[in-house]
Amino acid sequence: MGLTGIQIFKLLPKTNCQECGAPTCLAFAMKLAAGQAELEACPYVSEESKAKLSEAAAPPIRLVTIGVGDDLFKCGGETVQYRHEKTFVNPTGIGVLITDVMSDEEVAGRLNRFKQLEYERIGLILKPDLVAVKDTTGDKDTFKGLIRKVKKAGIKKLILMSEKVENHRAALETVGDLRPLLYAADKDNLKEMGNVAREKKVPLAVMGNGLDEVMELTNSLMEMGLNDLVIDSGSRDVKGVFADQVGIRRAALVGGEKLLGFPTITFPCEMTRNTMEETLFAATMIPKYSGVTILSDLQGETLFPLLVQRMNIFTDPQRQMATSEGVYEINNPDENSPVLITTNFSLTYFIVSGEIENSRVPSWLLVKDSDGLSVLTAWAAGKFAADSIALFMKKSGILDKVKHRKLIIPGYVAGISGELEEELPDWEIQIGPREAAHIPPYLKEWS
């Protein structure tokens, strides 16, 4: 919230009725300013004050949604220029382009890969988000036919791309209920595209030739009452796109420029024909500050690194990345397989689970919640101590999964083995390797 507690207090009813749970209106105002309370908690705040406070609370980059219900994609809503200041909120949407000149086979291949390429990392599912359907022939029926195919494939988060307003109208007859993003209003069709977006209540992309033109266009559309806008600055070379992305974010956040306070869309698919270059351009756009980025195709070897990069950029830098606590099965373990334990710092989990996988030895990996700290740090902070490990072991369900009672602990915390044996009298505590790289030979000889 941009207002101070005192500024907010001036907009509250000042009756000190305490219905919001705060002892006074001033206390409530202070909580609001600190982001520890919601304005809705006060039932008596006037509509006028509500409007003022909501405006002040709105993020400088507007939150725009594409899709409906459970199939909702969010972009924008950002409040900081640099990730280390706080956190980036809504991950860049990764989309794939299909056009009405592609063969049925090509379209089906892209749609299949869109649906099938997904990866699980630290309890999160990483996958692409959107399909951009492009009308290149200008033929309404051909475009509609392609849209139908996409809808039939069960794709619900869509970007409709056409230069013809009537083709957008025709496409919306089929997928208007999915609330797609329309691409794009430009200086030649601004009013007509604005009217379609307003009538159909769908978000609208704005394409200008440079930021000055973009601002003229967003200004006109805002005057028409449209606020769910996504910006394309028009650049198609990496230097220009990069400069525009940074310029838009700075103008909106630092300069308070409302005409540029919208998420952006970029098109690495239109910047090169080289797949590797395209991937590198997308990798540049994700941290710098694309709301949506469109690729020409999806292949595991290029998509996966982008998804992991996106996951890293859009995590809170002030919080350790943590894996969910639990029992992880690696290489199909059974009741005789070794049981290892580690902490839930994601990097530790990735390395340890990767080495176990490499060993090809079926194993159980217990991951204990340690607030995302690594083994030694968690031990030093008392979050990987014998008593809490014993408690976790009992509730984890591992006792029912294995016949033996042998637990392998990380070599770095060999010092807790005595205490662990006291806490888990039925278990033999075995000291595992200090370095994860030594896990495969250790497991191969384990008994």
Place of tokens 């220029």: 81
We find the least distance from the C-beta atom of residue 55 to ligand SF4, in angstroms, to be 19
- Are 67 and 86 in contact by the 8 Å Cβ rule? The answer is no
We find the least distance from the C-beta atom of residue 294 to ligand SF4, in angstroms, to be 46
Q: Which is nearer to ligand SF4, 18 or 324 (CB)?
A: 18
Sign of CA dihedral 268, 269, 273, 277: positive
Q: In three state form, how does the secondary structure of 155-179 look? A: CCCEEEECCCHHHHHHHHHHHHHHC
We find the least distance from the C-beta atom of residue 58 to ligand SF4, in angstroms, to be 21
We find the least distance from the C-beta atom of residue 50 to ligand SF4, in angstroms, to be 12
Q: Which is nearer to ligand SF4, 49 or 174 (CB)?
A: 49
Cβ neighbour number for residue 82 with a 10 Å cutoff: 10
We find the least distance from the C-beta atom of residue 17 to ligand SF4, in angstroms, to be 4
We find the least distance from the C-beta atom of residue 243 to ligand SF4, in angstroms, to be 45
Instruction: Quote the CA–CA distance of 242 and 229 in Å, as a whole number.
Output: 20
Interface contacts to ligand SF4, rule CB under 6 A: 12-13, 15-20, 22, 25, 28, 42, 44
Q: In angstroms, what CA-CA distances link 233 with 71, 80, 102, 241, 311?
A: 27, 20, 27, 7, 25
Q: Which is nearer to ligand SF4, 41 or 117 (CB)?
A: 41
Gyration radius of the chain over CA positions: 27
Q: Which is nearer to ligand SF4, 43 or 425 (CB)?
A: 43
We find the least distance from the C-beta atom of residue 329 to ligand SF4, in angstroms, to be 51
Q: Which is nearer to ligand SF4, 54 or 299 (CB)?
A: 54
In terms of Cβ atoms closer than 10 Å to its own Cβ (0-12, 13-18, 19+), residue 377 is middle
Q: Which is nearer to ligand SF4, 50 or 151 (CB)?
A: 50
Label residue 192 left, alpha or beta by phi (over 0 means left) and psi (-120 to 50 means alpha). alpha
DSSP track, 285-320: HTTTT-SEEEES---HHHHHHHHHHHHHHTS-TTS-
User: In the structure encoding, which two tokens stand for residue 187, read together?
Assistant: 């200086």
Q: Which is nearer to ligand SF4, 24 or 79 (CB)?
A: 24
Instruction: Quote the CA–CA distance of 113 and 117 in Å, as a whole number.
Output: 5
